[in-house]
Amino acid sequence: MRIFKLIYKNALRHKLRTALTVLGMAIAVMAFGVLRTVVDMYYAGIDATAVNRLITRQAVSYIFTLPYSYRDQIAKVPGVETVSFANWFGGTYIDKKNFFARMGVDAETIFDVYPEYVLPPKEYETFKSERNACVVGSELAKQYRFKIGDIISMDGDIYPGPWSFVVRGIYYPRDKVTDATQMFFHWQYIDERMKQDMPGRTGQVGWYIIKIKDPSQAAAISEQVDALFKNSSNETKTETERAFTQGFINGFSSLLNAMNAVSFIIIGIIMLVLGNTMIMSARERTREYAVLKTLGFSGGHLFGLIFGESMLISAFGAVAGLLITYPFVAGIEAKMPKGFFPYFFITPQTVILAGAAALTIGVLASIFPLQRALRMKIVDGLRFIG
Amino acid sequence: MAQAIIQVQGVSKSYWRDSFEVPVLKDISIDVQDGEFLCLMGPSGSGKTTLLNLIAGIDRPGMGKILVGGTDIGSLSETALAKWRSQHVGFVFQFYNLLPVLTAFENVELPLLLTPLSKAERRKHVELALDVVGLSDRVHHYPKQLSGGQEQRVAIARAIVTDPTLLVADEPTGDLDKHSAEEIMILLERLNKEFKKTIVMVTHDPRAAEKATVTHHLDKGELS
């Protein structure tokens, strides 16, 4: 028999209590993992950004548009390789809950500035040649069962009226973090309709995407672009794609901070639960610890027994928690409309953080029982009636 | 005459309750010879368990000196004292104090985990100790599957498995029925006579005390 066996047997001495503690820890670890995953996914867009892309938007807010005429001026700035643009379309596909990103883009350049969207060349050629063609991401196609040749009908809101698009391509994500839940179509298709229905809204794009040759020149190029439109009625703000995405996410900072706080509060609560279990166990075993000391077991041995038991329970909880987190997150992903998050998975950092949190709980929960057992005088322990 | 294996020299001990000092032992001096079976008797609160604890090295005297096998155990550090206890003292408690999650075998094996013995050697020692106490057929039983008398015999096997210099027993029959108590006392007597173990026992039971070779009475912390 080894000390580990005694630790194991002690941990299972009160099977129901240990099971409930492990279950509590598992649920807490799962809740922590899910919350962290949601927070991670909010920030995931930042990871998907490229260092050689700049975003130019209206200086006041990205909800305002910019003139299409800016395109040629931006293209002349030294260091700029390609200028593309996009426009948020909005609209409703069958039902409002069917949310995904729909954007009017420059078909000629969009796949050049976003090489992570991989579109078969033949489909790309067809897409470029038909005005009402659209391209959808593979995840989106999977969710709504879109196939090449399908017609997607929408009710416009920002751009009112009925709209129809023919699926001419399905792009695939190059990287795991690439968003494959978007729908692209020709900006010109929208603009031409606007010329007929609302002439005052023609020639406007949502934002420019600038591919630059040298990422180290990003700041200088941004300044030069913004300088072009200084004191105009549509001043611009140019920044790296990372900064742009970060700024977008900052709009949700209160929510994200609250979720972060809750995830750590959960850890705190479960620490108290495990701490309580360990204190109860240590209190019940006061006399046994005294007997072990009497037999010659040292403080180190008692430390091993109590600390080991705490760590064993927390490890069980962590493993069980992580095991249930994966199917839970997969279930959320399956239920969640595509496009709400570009992708949804548990990052290795979340696993490490949850594991580390569980182990920290194990360490902290053992402190008080350890202190009690190590300081206890043998004669007091032998007299103890639990 | 041979030198006593236990020499209690002018030992006093007090406890503090709130701000009051409660004297428990007053200037006690006793010698215990090697192979002796000493019984300490006395009313509750007379200090007999305190004296036993001091001799066993699980408490320290306020004044005086205790030598066991020539070692001044009061001068040892906590770590050294723990090691000394593991090598020289076997303990038998009133309530057996077996670990409920361990089998009889594992409970008896516990003190051997502190020795450098191999697993096979430990097994040999444990089987021998359980054989001595007549529980070879209860090796894999847990304490809750044993009677009180059997539990106490397992505790005695645990106490003798390291072949200690000294056995201390605090009310070893205090929680047992008459028949089981008799069996335990016969076992202790056998350990003393056949295996030449020095035993110091505290008891209220006059029948148990009859097995001892020497009896001391304590009253209000003094030998009477």
Q: Which of B85, B87, B99 sits opposite A294 (nearest CB)?
A: B85
Contact B111 A295 (CB under 8 A): yes
For chain B, the residue count is 224
A384 pLDDT band (50/70/90 cuts)? Answer: confident
| Rounded average pLDDT over A16-32 | 91
Determine, yes or no, domain membership for B184.
yes
Instruction: Give B6's contacts (C-beta < 8 A, 6+ positions apart).
Output: B30, B31, B32, B55, B66, B67, B68, B166, B198, B200
Q: Which residues of chain B make contact with A3, given a CB cutoff of 8 A?
A: 113
| Rounded average pLDDT over A87-105 | 92
Q: Which residues of chain B make contact with A288, given a CB cutoff of 8 A?
A: 97, 99
Question: Which pLDDT belongs to residue B119?
Answer: 93
Q: Which residues of chain A make contact with B100, given a CB cutoff of 8 A?
A: 13
A104 pLDDT band (50/70/90 cuts)? Answer: very high
Cα separations in angstroms, B163 against A151, B67, B88, B116, B173:
91, 19, 8, 14, 22
Determine, yes or no, domain membership for B93.
yes
Question: Which pLDDT belongs to residue A339?
Answer: 56
Q: What is the mean pLDDT of chain A?
A: 90
| Rounded average pLDDT over A82-100 | 93
Q: Which span out of A49-63, A179-193, A259-273 was modeled with the highest average pLDDT?
A: A179-193
CA–CA min distance B138, chain A (Å): 17
CA–CA min distance B76, chain A (Å): 13
pLDDT at B2 over 70: no
Q: Which of B56, B82, B100 sits opposite A298 (nearest CB)?
A: B82
**pLDDT tens-digit map of B163-193:** 998 999 999 998 889 999 999 999 999 999 9
Instruction: Give B24's contacts (C-beta < 8 A, 6+ positions apart).
Output: B13, B14, B15, B47, B50, B221
Residue pair A293/A303 in contact (Cβ under 8 Å)? The answer is: no
Determine, yes or no, domain membership for B1.
no
Among chain A residues, the shortest Cα distance to B164 is held by A295
Determine, yes or no, domain membership for B40.
yes
Helices A299-335, A348-375: axis angle to 10 degrees equals 150
Q: Mean pLDDT lowest for which of A85-89, A282-286, B57-61? A: A282-286
Smallest CA-to-CA distance from B141 within B106, B116, B109, B184 is with B106
Cα separations in angstroms, A347 against A36, A37, A208, A352, B117:
9, 7, 31, 9, 48
Residue pair B98/A9 in contact (Cβ under 8 Å)? The answer is: no
Q: Which residues of chain A make contact with B55, given a CB cutoff of 8 A?
A: none
Q: Which residues of chain A make contact with B53, given a CB cutoff of 8 A?
A: 378-379
Question: Which pLDDT belongs to residue A146?
Answer: 95
pLDDT at A49 over 90: no
Contact A291 B79 (CB under 8 A): no
pLDDT at A48 over 80: no
B3 pLDDT band (50/70/90 cuts)? Answer: low
Contact B99 A288 (CB under 8 A): yes
Strand partners, A169: A135
Interface predicted TM-score (ipTM) of this complex, two decimals = 0.92
Determine, yes or no, domain membership for B210.
yes
Nearest 5 degrees, angle CA A148-CA A152-CA A157? 150
Interface of B with A in 69-108 (CB under 8 A): 79, 82-83, 85-87, 91, 93, 97, 99-102, 106
Residue pair A157/A96 in contact (Cβ under 8 Å)? The answer is: no
Contact A287 B85 (CB under 8 A): no
Give chain B's count of helices (H) and strands (E): 7, 10
Question: Which pLDDT belongs to residue B194?
Answer: 92
**pLDDT tens-digit map of B9-64:** 999 999 888 888 889 999 999 999 999 999 999 998 899 999 999 999 999 999 99
A4 pLDDT band (50/70/90 cuts)? Answer: confident
Q: Mean pLDDT lowest for which of A31-40, A208-217, B198-207? A: A31-40
pLDDT at A229 over 90: yes
pLDDT at A219 over 70: yes
Question: Which pLDDT belongs to residue B202?
Answer: 95
DSSP character string of B6-37: EEEEEEEEEEEETTEEEEEEEEEEEEE-TT-E
Interface probe for A, chosen from B25, B51, B91, B113 (most Cβ of A below 10 Å), is B113
**pLDDT over 70, % of chain B:** 99
Q: Which of A10, A297, A379 sits opposite B59 (nearest CB)?
A: A379
The CATH number of residue B152's host domain is 3.40.50.300
Token digits of residue B208? 């148990």
Residue with tokens 């000092």: B21
Determine, yes or no, domain membership for B204.
yes
Determine, yes or no, domain membership for B145.
yes
Question: Which pLDDT belongs to residue A221?
Answer: 96
pLDDT at A63 over 90: no
Number of domains in chain B: 1
pLDDT at B102 over 80: yes
Question: Which pLDDT belongs to residue B65?
Answer: 94
Q: Which of B99, B100, B114 sits opposite A296 (nearest CB)?
A: B114
Residue with tokens 């031409």: A192
A59 pLDDT band (50/70/90 cuts)? Answer: very high
Interface of B with A in 164-223 (CB under 8 A): none
Interface probe for B, chosen from A14, A293, A295, A305 (most Cβ of B below 10 Å), is A295
Torsion of CA A16, A18, A20, A23, to 10 degrees: -140
Q: What is the mean pLDDT of chain B?
A: 92
Q: Mean pLDDT lowest for which of A51-55, A80-84, A265-269? A: A265-269
| Rounded average pLDDT over B150-168 | 95
Domain ranges of chain A: 3-45+252-383, 65-233
Q: Which residue has the higher pLDDT, A182 or A345?
A: A182
Q: How far apart are CA A134 and CA B16, in angstroms?
A: 88
pLDDT at A33 over 80: yes
pLDDT at A155 over 70: yes
A386 pLDDT band (50/70/90 cuts)? Answer: low
Q: Which residues of chain B make contact with A291, given a CB cutoff of 8 A?
A: 91, 93, 97, 99
Asked if B117 reaches chain A (Cβ–Cβ under 8 Å), the answer is no
Q: Which residues of A touch B (CB under 8 A)?
A: 1-3, 5-6, 9-10, 12-13, 287-288, 291-298, 377-379, 382
B73 pLDDT band (50/70/90 cuts)? Answer: very high
